[in-house]
């Protein structure tokens, strides 16, 4: 999350994302860090698009969040932060189509992710 986007709280929103084009992403949350690394490598090798791996072994501020798709500053970022704080590793894949979203979801489920989240909001929010 950029410094200029947020109101200082993990769950708060500054409002600037309310009219932005939101991404379509698939998020796999793993308690097994090696499993998360393995599936991230597998997806990158398949050319799945932008694949990002967040790890609980590094402080949240040290994560390269600038590489993530613009997830906004609200509930989804709060969920990601909470899972990282609880020790999870998180794979985030920026997808371009519903078909790719479904395919990536299947790969994450087959890889035994503990929780699967999807955000299908490629439309502009009014």
Once rounded to an integer, what is the mean pLDDT over residues 104-123? 86
pLDDT averaged over the chain? 75
According to the model, what pLDDT value does residue 10 have?
43
- Please tell me which residue, 29 or 48, carries the higher pLDDT value: 29
Tell me whether residue 31 is exposed, middle or buried, using C-beta atoms within 10 angstroms of its C-beta: 0 to 12, 13 to 18, 19 or more: middle
pTM > 0.85: no
More confident residue, 55 or 37: 37
Mean pLDDT of 98-125: 84
Domain positions in the chain are 24-120
Whether residue 5 has pLDDT greater than 60: no
Query: Is residue 106 a contact partner of residue 62, using CB atoms and an 8 Å limit?
Result: no
User: Do 120 and 101 touch, CB atoms closer than 8 A?
Assistant: yes
Contact residues for 59 (Cβ-Cβ < 8 A; gap 6+):
none
| Tokens 């955000």, residue located | 119
pLDDT at position 118 is: 86
For the segment 56-106, what is each residue's pLDDT rounded down to a tens digit? Answer: 776 554 455 555 556 655 677 778 888 888 889 999 998 888 899 999 999
Dig out the tokens for 102 from the structure: 């479904």
């Amino acid at each position: 999350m950029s410094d200029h986007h947020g109101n200082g709280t993990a769950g708060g929103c500054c409002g600037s994302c309310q009219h932005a084009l939101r991404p379509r992403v698939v998020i796999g949350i793993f308690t097994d860090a090696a499993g998360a690394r393995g599936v991230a490598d597998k997806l990158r090798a398949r050319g799945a698009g932008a694949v990002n791996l967040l790890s609980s072994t590094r402080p949240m501020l040290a994560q390269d969040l600038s590489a993530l798709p613009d997830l906004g500053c609200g509930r989804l970022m709060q969920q990601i932060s909470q899972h990282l704080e609880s020790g999870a590793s998180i794979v985030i894949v920026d997808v371009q189509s519903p078909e790719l979203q479904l395919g990536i979801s299947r790969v994450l489920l087959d890889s035994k992710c503990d929780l699967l989240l999807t955000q299908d909001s490629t439309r502009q929010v009014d």
